[in-house]
Structure 1
Amino acid sequence: MKLLDLKNDGVDIQEQIKLSKYTFTKTGGAAQYLAFPKNKTELENLVQVACEEELPLTIIGNASNLIIRDGGIDGLVIILTKMNQISVKGNKVVAQAGARIIDTAFTAAKAGLSGLEFAAGIPGSIGGAVFMNAGAYGGETQNAVDTVTVLTRASEFKTYTNQEMEFSYRHSLVQENGDIVVAATFALKPGKKLEILAQMDYLNALRRYKQPLEYPSCGSVFKRPKGHFVGPMIIKAGLQGKQIGGAQDSTKHAGFIVNKGGATATDYLNLIHYIQKVIKEKYDIDLHTEVRIIGKK
């Protein structure tokens, strides 16, 4: 079986497509091959073909906390956003990897299930949220996950428990072993629908007030160093508003870097490195990126 065979069988496979069409920063080079599987079978076949043809394989969700370098990505890039089904089973919500975590949180809320309120404004996919152990406003993905179904690079489906996922701050097992998140099951608690929705509306209002949603961005750029907050540290260092090319450290939230117009991934990376350099010089603190950075220079 080859990629062309899968394409002839109806799998959405494209060639030399600019990934800036899909990233939240509106930057990034081209994918050699880009595929959008609609189900587990198509995903499994794509992974098998990539292995057989010795193609590098890259998995992308909603591309919200991601920077793809301007050189693009060789091999096969798989975007999972067409695998987006969400279902409610008792006190559990099952969501495929390509479903938005926002949609999953609202599905839970409408079913009177509490535990995903923190995710009401996170723009990423379920797969990305699990991969990064995404969090906001005191909540993290690990707090709600019951099990995670993955596809290994050897094309084997497995299910991990919460404990087996080895969650920690912005980390999970699948970052280490290369498994592909296929779906996640969330164990939630019964609550009052209107109260859950009100809490989500409140958190989204905070987000609109504090975050630069009017510009393309990759969300929060840096991990929080122990004992410090990144935004105030950047402000104190005089870096808020610093701009390189079209990329600017946001004047609204210093922990975000926004595309003010015409930014490239290289602009983003140069600004990230500059901020890291200055913070290290001023405070002897190493800032590590939360945003995932992939692709060729």
Structure 2
Amino acid sequence: MAENIKTRFPEIDIKENEPLAKYTFTHTGGPADWVAFPKNVDQVRQLVTFAKGHDLPIMVLGNASNLIVKDGGIAGLVLILTAMKSITVHGQTVTADAGAAYIEVTKVARDHSLSGIEFAAGIPGSVGGAVFMNAGAYGGETKNAVAKATVMNRTGEIFDLDNQALDFGYRHSAVQDQHLIVLSADFALQPGDFTAIKAEMDDLNARRAAKQPLDLPSCGSVFKRPKGYFAGKLIHDAGLQGYTSGGAQVSKKHAGFIVNINHGTATDYLNVIHHVQATVKEKFGVDLETEVRIIGRD
């Protein structure tokens, strides 16, 4: 299969048995059978069609910021879309490819004095991941800014989903349910004042830097917000800050984060997650559900 897929697509960068730890924000994750880096929509379609014809499982990644890949890696073909990163502006609409960094989209919007996406100024994921997860921060959510997304299904068909069809919810979208691949998204923004937009983005980034452990590898916010509670406060009140398993640790700076302090593995991360969940359940009777996406083989 290796030579087959590489020979079939010589113009696409494809790596065999590639450690995914090289691409995740946690610096953890086992190897994928194949990793491909398509540069455009046509290459994505070619790979999707090939995979379907060869019964090859497909997993799609962007910046892999809110993600844990297990140490067993991923079977089949992983598509990493970060080479698809074009951002264009037409009037009050910013169109961004799936692999574009969300942070870069906010900067382009700011530089065109367009408001409505300031909340995402520090979100480290890609546009595709943001749509997939309905990424949000500081009271804002992706669903409030996206007019439509262009997606591909697993047979290679391309179509648009408007905001309503995307069925956004808390860290959820129809993209998850329908196993779609986000290719690009249109952000419908409003005219604003450059100075005010910049000031808000700078303020949010300063708040993020003051409260979050940005100096260490992490998978971002680990747990969803339980109804009536804050996950970070529950973890803090349970006395779990600093709890360590292997090289993974509940951040001493922000209890909602797990950081890689010493060559941690995905298994270390999962051990910390399970201990936190069990302890919070025991002490407070609250079930913590993971926000971070956990994928791959054990």
In structure 1, the partner of 2:138 is 137
Aligned mates of 2:8, 2:49 — CA distance in 1: 11
For residue 262 of structure 1, give the secondary structure of its aligned residue in structure 2.
coil
Aligned mates of 2:8, 2:134 — CA distance in 1: 32
Pair 1:192 & 2:193 matched: yes
In structure 1, the partner of 2:97 is 96
Q: Give the counterpart letter for 1:4 in structure 2.
A: K
- Correspondences of 1:39-78 after superposition (within 5 Å): 39-78=40-79
In structure 2, the partner of 1:228 is 229
For residue 261 of structure 1, give the secondary structure of its aligned residue in structure 2.
coil
In structure 2, the partner of 1:3 is 5
For residue 49 of structure 2, give the secondary structure of its aligned residue in structure 1.
helix
Aligned mates of 2:89, 2:82 — CA distance in 1: 19
Aligned mates of 2:119, 2:262 — CA distance in 1: 30
Pair 1:161 & 2:184 matched: no
Aligned mates of 2:44, 2:195 — CA distance in 1: 38
Report the alpha carbon displacement of residue 4 of structure 1 after superposing the two structures with TM: 2.7
Report the alpha carbon displacement of residue 234 of structure 1 after superposing the two structures with TM: 0.6
Aligned mates of 1:91, 1:274 — CA distance in 2: 47
For residue 249 of structure 2, give the secondary structure of its aligned residue in structure 1.
strand
- Correspondences of 1:116-135 after superposition (within 5 Å): 116-135=117-136
Report the alpha carbon displacement of residue 5 of structure 1 after superposing the two structures with TM: 3.5
Pair 1:19 & 2:20 matched: yes
Aligned length: 296
- Structure 2, unaligned stretches of length 5 or more? none
Kindly provide the CA deviation profile for residues 59-116 of structure 1, in whole angstroms up to 9, marking residues without a partner as x: 0010000000000001000000000000000000000000000000100010010011
For residue 289 of structure 2, give the secondary structure of its aligned residue in structure 1.
coil
In structure 2, the partner of 1:244 is 245
Aligned mates of 1:15, 1:233 — CA distance in 2: 42
In structure 1, the partner of 2:271 is 270
Report the alpha carbon displacement of residue 285 of structure 1 after superposing the two structures with TM: 1.0
Report the alpha carbon displacement of residue 261 of structure 1 after superposing the two structures with TM: 1.2
For residue 274 of structure 1, give the secondary structure of its aligned residue in structure 2.
helix
Kindly provide the CA deviation profile for residues 141-172 of structure 1, in whole angstroms up to 9, marking residues without a partner as x: 00000001000111100100100100011000
For residue 201 of structure 1, give the secondary structure of its aligned residue in structure 2.
helix
Aligned mates of 1:213, 1:133 — CA distance in 2: 21
Aligned mates of 2:257, 2:274 — CA distance in 1: 14
Kindly provide the CA deviation profile for residues 226-281 of structure 1, in whole angstroms up to 9, marking residues without a partner as x: 10001111111111110000000000000000000110000000100010011111
Q: Give the counterpart letter for 1:278 in structure 2.
A: T
**TM-score if structure 2 supplies the norm length?**
0.98
Would you identify which runs of 4 or more consecutive aligned residues in structure 1 move more than 4 Å? none
In structure 2, the partner of 1:107 is 108
Q: Give the counterpart letter for 2:9 in structure 1.
A: K
For residue 129 of structure 1, give the secondary structure of its aligned residue in structure 2.
helix
For residue 79 of structure 2, give the secondary structure of its aligned residue in structure 1.
strand
Q: Give the counterpart letter for 1:101 in structure 2.
A: Y
Q: Give the counterpart letter for 1:84 in structure 2.
A: K
**TM-score if structure 1 supplies the norm length?**
0.98
Aligned mates of 1:79, 1:259 — CA distance in 2: 23
Aligned mates of 1:289, 1:143 — CA distance in 2: 23
Report the alpha carbon displacement of residue 6 of structure 1 after superposing the two structures with TM: 3.5
Let me know the Cα RMSD of the aligned residues.
Answer: 1.0
Report the alpha carbon displacement of residue 7 of structure 1 after superposing the two structures with TM: 2.9
